[in-house]
Structure 1
Amino acid sequence: MPPATAAAAAPSERLSPQTRRTAWIVSSIFFVEQLDATSVASALPAMAAELQTDAVTLSATITAYLLGLTILIPLSGRLAERYGDKKVFTGAIWLFLASSIACGLAPSASILIALRFVQGMAGALMAPVGRLIVLRAAAKHEIVEAMALVILLAMIAPMVGPFLGGLLTTYVGWRWIFWINGPLCLAALWLVWRYLPATEGRQEGTFDVRGTLLTGAGFACLMWGLVSLADAQVRSGPAAVALAAGGLLLAAYVRHARRTAAPVLALDLLAVRSFRDAMASGSVFRIAVGGVPFLLPVTLQQRDGYSPLEAGLVVLIPAAGGFAMKFFSGKILRRTGYRKGLFLHGLMAAACLAVAGLVPPRDVLPAYAAMLLGFGWARSLQMNAFGTLAYADVGRARLAAATSFFLAIQNLTVAMGVAAAASLLRGGAAIGAGGTAFYSWVYLTLGAIALASAFMTLAMPRSAGQDLLQGNRAS
């Protein structure tokens, strides 16, 4: 092969300036959204005192946000196709800004909960449409690095959010948790207007109204049921009814989608092998690890006697491992390929999670910290790999549909992970009769689910995702 040809065939691991800038802008907006979502929990007692209610009642502000987030995600791709992705993204940021200011002015708990639902709806448009803008701006071989960059700042927000929420609540009041979004969103809007590429919308065609109602209501029922299962204050009966209703509504949607030319969620994407594989094994993996941010602090405080501050600091360890991985995921996947990389890091995540449940942190903290660091490292690669493999064989014309579908299932399976961890803890506590050995079994069970996901990846073809790992900027 001539030198020039060899150079052209070599994969480039550097992003073009336009792609890098686009990914950074979208990442910064995701940071603002995640910062708001994670800082509220720290302020619940102060919010409850001022609004003359209790913290348990105000925990509905978190649930309302999740419900709003769930309902509109299926529709986000259709809106972007019809009106243009940049226009919808800008509108979502304005809605998030307005609802944030209104949350800070809320005079009662019921109004605050309703406004948090609106905030969630704005987030439901920001997340998928922001990803869509990056996917359309990036060349095939840039997608792995670009998507790693997109979620980089969003990974920092959960580390900063609880601390910032407590700081603002202590010194200037809880309402500033929402008002601080004002200048951040205005800066984001200027960056979007100035730098982000735009795709023109297509005004022809009609919305799948019936499908939108079925998917929105179905996902909302499932999300509420899963959140309720994770909440010890809610009885299991209503949660079971909500889960059954959600299942029936989505089953009705499947039947509807087969008879509709342009359904709101394109189920025919499951015929694409890479998309189907990423959805299947990725969903199992998210069920295994989705509840870990909830499980770790509970275990450290209830089993090991850590203070909330100490537990919060330990929880930063897997976050640090995941943050570090974002700089290496593209290089690792190019060296191993998707199938091998997913299998090996799935094994690593499962082993580290299981061992972390067995190691007493007060006795052997370095070994415990190493397991958490390794878990965070492996989990980060899995999330990025599944999140990019889904688009490997999806044409650009179908990126919007694929993004809506993927993120709707992603949110649902993460909630399933939280519900699974909470249910295992409650079940273990009931059987354990006051002992603490059941904590280890919870970790082992989740590790086994992660292990199942790793072995599912072996069914992928060896060539899975190769188009994302090869090519050059000219391509």
Structure 2
Amino acid sequence: MPPTAAAVGAPPSERLSPQTRRTAWIVSSIFFVEQLDATSVASALPAMAADLNTDAVTLSATITAYLLGLTILIPLSGRLAERYGDKQVFAGAIWLFLASSIACGLAPNATFLIALRFIQGMAGALMAPVGRLIVLRAAAKHEIVEAMALVILLAMIAPMVGPFLGGLLTTYVGWRWIFWINGPLCLAALWLVWRFLPATGGRKDGAFDLRGTALSGLGFAGLTWGLIALADAHAQTGPAVAALVAGLLLLGAYVRHARRTAEPVLALDLLKLRSFRDAMAGGSVFRIAVGGVPFLLPVTLQQRDGYSPLEAGLVVLIPAVGGFAMKFFSGKILRRAGYRTGLFLHGLLAAACLAAAGLVPPRDLLPFYAALLLGFGWARSLQMNAYGTLAYADVARPRLAAATSFFLAVQNLTVAVGVAAAALLLKSGAAIDGAGTAFYSWAHLALAAIALASAIMTLSMPASAGSALLQSKRPS
């Protein structure tokens, strides 16, 4: 059923209880700490390399190691939360993130730092899905849209300040403080978790799907590493392709394993739910389209348009501003338009803005170019929130943990696919076009076409898609 008039008109304060709002803000603050760390490191790589007697290319493996740690443990996160309790696992992940951050700041060489970043990524693999799970279990159905928008609100601010903070700390107190600053932030977060977050008891029945965990975790890690290597101009193609093939074979083996296992680590039967299946399919295609944009935009601005790294970095903040603004309106828009129409229209907007941004010369038409990036960020933000909540529309509460692990595992992979797609489009375009610059525009158009495909996919959704999430708590 479509959203009722009461649902559309109900003020946000009536759709979020104080407990749900507080829980969402606490989880959001912890996601902010994680994203701040992740986005601060890149700007410090040259200084880190000089201090550790290596080079920046070698130390870029610290970013890859973090992503691999993140990928390999996400499938297990839901099962750990079910076994030991959401709050306990969440707090344990924060402690691990805190300890590994301090250790990163003490790393004597590149090898130790890369290994510690892998551990840090494993902590992040538990923080992200379990934090979301805590909010989903605290929120009523009608609160999920606003609650999840709050969850990622502060995380969207971190990429705006992370590179600046990383450069500031590196310049004035040293790169090691990028990791040490996590200490007081994590301790404050732990106090908030123990003081205010609701606790859920674990269940001791059921066995861990260790074989499924190994197959899925290593499969996702193989695909992620292969895609990252394909996007890296310094990496060899052979090992990247081998990793991709191995990842696909491992995930294929997991599918066969899951069909014969009573409680697999990733519950494939969730795909029988229409809303979950639509969110996974459309959301995956959309994330492939936009996942490479943070890579594509700065490269285009610097190599085609002659911007300095600082100028390009400032321009790339514009989509983040649009996305941040959308977080205050996404619930209202979805309640007025519904999921199908909202996703379709904003998918069209994202595709149109991305395509036009590839054709407009920013130095000549900067205000128009900035408006396009602002519109793209606005539309991208609604799509991410909509797909991220639609997935839970028909999931029973006992299965929220399984749904969260499954959704986030695929989400991380499709973002990596998007980065690899953008890199391959530029590499192949440069090989074909030589000294020309038209291939930068074609790369924008190709990603825009994928975003358009995701918008068209939403037309197959039923008109009532996600209606359970769009109701007011008051009877209509």
Structure 2 residue aligned with 1:170: 171
1:6 is displaced (CA, Å) by 9.1
RMSD, aligned α-carbons: 1.4
Structure 1 residue aligned with 2:257: 256
1:471 is displaced (CA, Å) by 2.9
Whole-angstrom distance in 2 between the partners of 1:226 and 1:8: 43
- 1:10-159 paired onto structure 2 within 5 Å: 11=10, 13-14=12-13, 15-159=16-160
Unaligned runs of 5+ in 1: none
Structure 2 residue aligned with 1:381: 382
Structure 1 residue aligned with 2:465: 464
Structure 2 residue aligned with 1:435: 436
Structure 1 residue aligned with 2:335: 334
1:205 and 2:170 equivalent? no
Structure 1 residue aligned with 2:271: 270
Distance 1:209 1:282, change over 3 A: same
1:301 and 2:287 equivalent? no
CA deviation string 1:326-370 (max 9, x = no partner): 000000000000000000000000000000000000001111011
1:69 is displaced (CA, Å) by 0.1
CA deviation string 1:47-70 (max 9, x = no partner): 101110100000000000000000
Give SS of 1:337's match: helix
- 1:233-252 paired onto structure 2 within 5 Å: 233-252=234-253
Any conservation in 2 of the 1:353–1:443 contact (CA below 8 Å)? yes
1:10 is displaced (CA, Å) by 6.7
Whole-angstrom distance in 2 between the partners of 1:263 and 1:380: 32
Any conservation in 1 of the 2:66–2:121 contact (CA below 8 Å)? yes
Any conservation in 2 of the 1:10–1:472 contact (CA below 8 Å)? no
Any conservation in 1 of the 2:355–2:445 contact (CA below 8 Å)? yes
Distance 1:263 1:299, change over 3 A: same
1:13 is displaced (CA, Å) by 2.8
Any conservation in 2 of the 1:11–1:469 contact (CA below 8 Å)? no
Distance 1:50 1:274, change over 3 A: same
CA deviation string 1:305-340 (max 9, x = no partner): 001111011001100000000000000000000000
CA deviation string 1:115-151 (max 9, x = no partner): 0000000000000000000000011011000000000
Whole-angstrom distance in 1 between the partners of 2:246 and 2:301: 36
Whole-angstrom distance in 2 between the partners of 1:174 and 1:429: 35
Any conservation in 2 of the 1:318–1:377 contact (CA below 8 Å)? yes
Whole-angstrom distance in 1 between the partners of 2:6 and 2:462: 27
Distance 1:262 1:12, change over 3 A: farther
Unaligned runs of 5+ in 2: none
Whole-angstrom distance in 2 between the partners of 1:474 and 1:325: 28
Structure 2 residue aligned with 1:321: 322
Whole-angstrom distance in 2 between the partners of 1:144 and 1:275: 15
Whole-angstrom distance in 1 between the partners of 2:325 and 2:350: 15
Whole-angstrom distance in 2 between the partners of 1:350 and 1:179: 40
CA deviation string 1:446-471 (max 9, x = no partner): 00000000000000000000010013
Whole-angstrom distance in 1 between the partners of 2:369 and 2:332: 27
Whole-angstrom distance in 1 between the partners of 2:256 and 2:12: 43
The one-letter code of the counterpart of 2:79 is R
The one-letter code of the counterpart of 1:13 is P
CA deviation string 1:130-176 (max 9, x = no partner): 00000000110110000000000000101111100000000000000
Distance 1:9 1:438, change over 3 A: closer
Aligned length: 471
Any conservation in 2 of the 1:353–1:375 contact (CA below 8 Å)? yes
Whole-angstrom distance in 2 between the partners of 1:383 and 1:243: 26
